[in-house]
Each structure stands twice: as C-alpha cells, then as structure tokens.
Amino acid sequence: MFLDHTAKIISFQPPIIAAVPYESTNEPFYEATQAIFTVCTTLGRLAFPIFCFLLVEGFIHTSNRNKYAFRLLIFAFLSQIPYSLAFSHQLFDFRELNVFFTLLIGFLVVMGLDKFKKFSFKNVFYSIGIVALGVELAEWLQTDYGGNIDVLLIVALYLLRYNLLYKSLVGSLIILQNSFFGIFSFFILSFYNGERGKQWKYFFYLFYPVHLLLLVGIKRFIVVPYF
C-alpha cells in the first residue's frame, strides 16, 4: 500500500509539476522514475486482497462487531482529509471516499449475511439483496476500489472462508477487474495458519491517514519545489 501510494502521490511527471518547465535534458530522469513507480504500483496490488481477508478474519474473531464497525467509521472520517489532500488536492472532498468507507460497507454486508446465514429461500433472497445493496452503495459513493471489487471480494472471502481453493479462484476472478498481479496475494494468504499474530491494530489503523499526510508533505515541500 505504501509503495502504491508513493507512486501515485509523488509523481515526477512534468504536467503535475507545473512550477518547473519540462526540459528534454530531464527525460532520462522522468523515464527512470516512471519505471520505478510502475514497479511500486504493481507490488501495491498485493495489499488490498490481504486487507479484505483480514477484515473477514476480524469479523469472525472480534468479540464486538458493532464496535468493530464503529471503529471503521471513525477512521473512515479521520482519513478523508488526508485522502482528499493526496488525490484531489483539496482539504474536504467527499466526491470520492477512502478505502475505510469501502471496508466498512463490506463489513456491514457480511454482518447482514451472517444474520441470514440459516438456509431458506427467504434468507437467500435477503442475502442477495444485501450484497446488491452494498455493491450499489459503494459504487454510488465512489469509494476506493468500489463495490464491484471490494464488496464482492469480501463476500467471497467470507462465504468461501473454509475452502482455500475456491476462495482463491473466485477472489482472483474478482481482483482481476483491478489488476493481474493482485491475484498473487492469494498465494501469500495460503500460508495463513489461522493463529492470531501480534496486536498492532491501532498502528495499522493510524498508518493509513498518517502515511498519506507524510506523502503529501513530501510532494508539496520537497518534490514540487526542487524537481
């Protein structure tokens, strides 16, 4: 994620840095940085499926799902200003929402599916409606990754959580909408042993808005003035 956002936010493309006129002598530098950033964005595609997987694991193992959802909501609003500064160059911009909103919608969809998990035609109908509503809501709000990727991926990881092969195959088909390299995240997930690791949850929650602010600061105070 950090590599992906570094490549997207700290861009050396001449049209982005209007304060410095583009010169042909800079062309090798721009070409080199764009090659590096392409590698960064490619590697960054591994992150999102892992986040979705961890969200599902959190849903399964948390002692209080309402608090979990509320925590996602709080960090969604806290992260929106850094997200706006990073990607729309405005202080407040709710035309596109950060990934915490996307994960929150996916979490709420899974909560709904869990409520109607007992098999019946009525519950199947309700479950399909909940998934469709979640997908449309994420698309309408224009959340990062959107409903067609995020919500469907979270649903697949939840429903197929006990079958590694099916989970990986269906998850790969969904993530292919975003990138090819993202499917390799399921190879990483195959090594998960089901055991709880070190609890650094607030560090990772805070890392998202803090690293966006850091990258915005680097771009504005170092990249733009000096490059």
| pLDDT tens sequence across 4-46 | 888 888 866 544 444 445 444 456 666 667 777 888 888 888 9
Chain mean pLDDT for the chain: 86
The pLDDT of residue 22? 46
Query: What mean pLDDT do residues 141-165 have?
Result: 91
Does the pLDDT value for residue 136 go beyond 90?
Answer: yes
Residue 171 tokens read as 């998850």
Which single residue is written with the structure tokens 């929650």? 205
Assess whether pLDDT exceeds 50 at residue 131.
Answer: yes
State percent of the chain over pLDDT 90. 53
pLDDT at 172: 92
Which pTM value belongs to this model?
0.86
* Whole-angstrom distance, CA of residue 219 vs CA of residue 198: 33
Position of tokens 């997207």?
8
> What does each C-alpha distance from 39 to 82, 89, 133, 216, 217 come to in angstroms?
24, 24, 35, 20, 22
Question: What's at 61, amino acid-wise?
Answer: H
